[in-house]
Amino acid sequence: MRTMHSVVKRGALYWDRELSPEEVYPRRIAAIQSRMAAAGDDAWILVGDVIHHGPVVFATNFMPRVRSALVYIPATGAATLFANISLRDVPAARTITNIEDIRPFSRLPKELSTFLGEALPQGGTVGLCGVDECLPANDWFSIEQALPMISWVARDGIISAMRARKEAFEIEAVRRSTALADLALDAAQNLIKPGTSMRVVIADLDRQVRSRGAEDVRFLIASGPQAGSALRPADDRRLQDGDTVIIYCAVQNQRYWGEAAQTFCLGAPSTKLQDLHATAISALDTMATKIKPGVAAGAVADSIHGSQASATQYGLGNAIGLDVQEGVVIEAGASEVLEPDTVIALRIILHEDDQGVAVTRTLHVGATDSTLLAGRDHLASV
C-alpha cells in the first residue's frame, strides 16, 4: 500500500528492550558477516533514509528521524554507523542502538570516502543494500569516483531474504502496531459526526495514536461522494448525514508497521453499500485461505479473479514489517513464494458508483498454514 510519507519522524523514538532484546542486533550482524564470507566480500554497506530505513534498522535498530543513515559492516570486527545528525545528537542515538562507533556526517561523499580509503587501503569488494533507493545519484557518483580501487556489488536480495522471515518479537511488534491502527479506528467512531471536517477527525486520531508511542502514522480517507472514487489525504470536507467514510491507517511503533482500514456510515448503510461490503469480505476471505507457505503470491491474487478492478490500485496485499511494503507483493503474475514466518497484510478497497468500502486482515504465515494476527472487516454505523 503506497501512502503519503513523512519527511520528519515526529513521534516517539525509544528502544523497548523487553520487546527486542539487545542480543538481537549483534547476532544479526554476525549472520550478515557469515553471508558476506560466503559471497567473498570484504565489507557491506546498508543504507536507509527517513522513508526507507529497513536494512539499517534490521542490523542496528537505529532509525533516522530526518535524512539518512548507513551502516558499514566489515568481514570481521565491529560495525560503524554513519548518521546525518549533529555531534550533540550522538548520546541520544546511543539509546536506540548498541553500535559503539557512531559517526555524524554532514557531507557523506567526503566523509565516507575518507573512511573507506582507510578501512580498505588495498581496495576490495563491497556489497551494497539500499543505495539505489536511498542515496542521491550525485553523492554515489562522487563516492565511486573517489574510490576506484573498490568493486561494488548489489546485495539487496540477500538482506531482503534475511528480513523476510520474522522472529517472534517481530511478529509481536507488527501485531502491536496493528493494534494501534485499530485503536485509531475505534476512536474514529466517536469523532465522525455531521458537521465535523475530516481534517479535524484525522488530527485527533493522529494525536491519540502518537500519544501511545507511535513513531509514524499515515492516513488516507474518503468521505461522501469521494468514497466512490479514491482515497486521499485528509481535507476540509464537512461530514453530512448519510455519508460513507473510509479510513485507512498505517502505524509504525518500535520500527515495525501495522495497518488497518474500516468503513463507517453516518446512518443506516444502504443496500448497495452492504452488497459492496459483502463482495469485499468474500474476496478477502478467499485470499486469506490461500495464505500458506509455498503458495505463489500471484496465485493469491488470481484467487479472486480480478473481480473488482478498483481493488488493485491500492494493492491486494504485501509483506509488512520494517517497511509498510516489503518483500512479497500480492499481485497478478507475481512468482515469489510465501515463506514461513512472513507477515502478510491483505486489503480489499473497492469503489463503485458513489459508494466505497475497505477491509483488511494481517496474517502470520506458519509452517503449514497461516494465523490471523488482526482483522478489520466490519461495517460500522455511527
Residues 177 and 231 reside in one and the same domain: yes
Dist CA 201 CA 336 (whole Å): 39
User: By the 8 A CB rule, do 373 and 362 touch?
Assistant: yes
- Would you state the pLDDT for residue 354? 87
Q: Is the pLDDT confidence value at 309 over 60?
A: no
* Domains in the chain, number: 2
Q: Is the pLDDT confidence value at 8 over 90?
A: no
- Would you state the pLDDT for residue 301? 94
The CATH number of whichever domain residue 55 belongs to comes to 3.40.350.10
Beta-carbon neighbour count of residue 358 at 10 Å? 27
Residues 79 and 136 reside in one and the same domain: yes
Q: Is the pLDDT confidence value at 368 over 90?
A: yes
Task: Flag whether 343 is in a domain.
Answer: yes
**Residue 43, CB half-sphere, CA atoms under 13 Å: how many?**
22
What is the value of pTM for the model shown? 0.94
What does the DSSP assignment read for 60-90? H----SSSEEEEEEESSS--EEEESS-GGGH
Residue finishing a domain among 116, 137, 163 = 163
Beta bridge partners of 352: 355
Q: Is the pLDDT confidence value at 311 over 80?
A: no
C-alpha cell at 116: 573507506
User: By the 8 A CB rule, do 232 and 222 touch?
Assistant: yes
**Angle subtended by helix axes 198-210 and 168-191, to nearest 10:** 140
Q: Is the pLDDT confidence value at 211 over 70?
A: yes
Residues 130 and 186 reside in one and the same domain: no
Residues 233 and 148 reside in one and the same domain: no
Give the domain range for residue 198.
168-381
Beta-carbon neighbour count of residue 240 at 10 Å? 12
Rounded to the nearest integer, the mean pLDDT of the chain is 94
Residues 254 and 351 reside in one and the same domain: yes
On the 0-12 / 13-18 / 19+ scale of CB atoms within 10 A, 219 is buried
Dist CA 363 CA 25 (whole Å): 25
Task: Flag whether 9 is in a domain.
Answer: no
- Would you state the pLDDT for residue 308? 58
- Would you state the pLDDT for residue 305? 72
Q: Taking residues 75-93, what's their average pLDDT?
A: 96
- Would you state the pLDDT for residue 6? 64
Residue finishing a domain among 134, 163, 192 = 163
pLDDT tens string 124-166: 999 999 999 999 999 999 999 999 999 999 999 999 999 999 9
Residues 291 and 159 reside in one and the same domain: no
pLDDT bracket for residue 379 (50, 70, 90): very high
Q: Is the pLDDT confidence value at 4 over 80?
A: no
Q: Taking residues 93-116, what's their average pLDDT?
A: 95
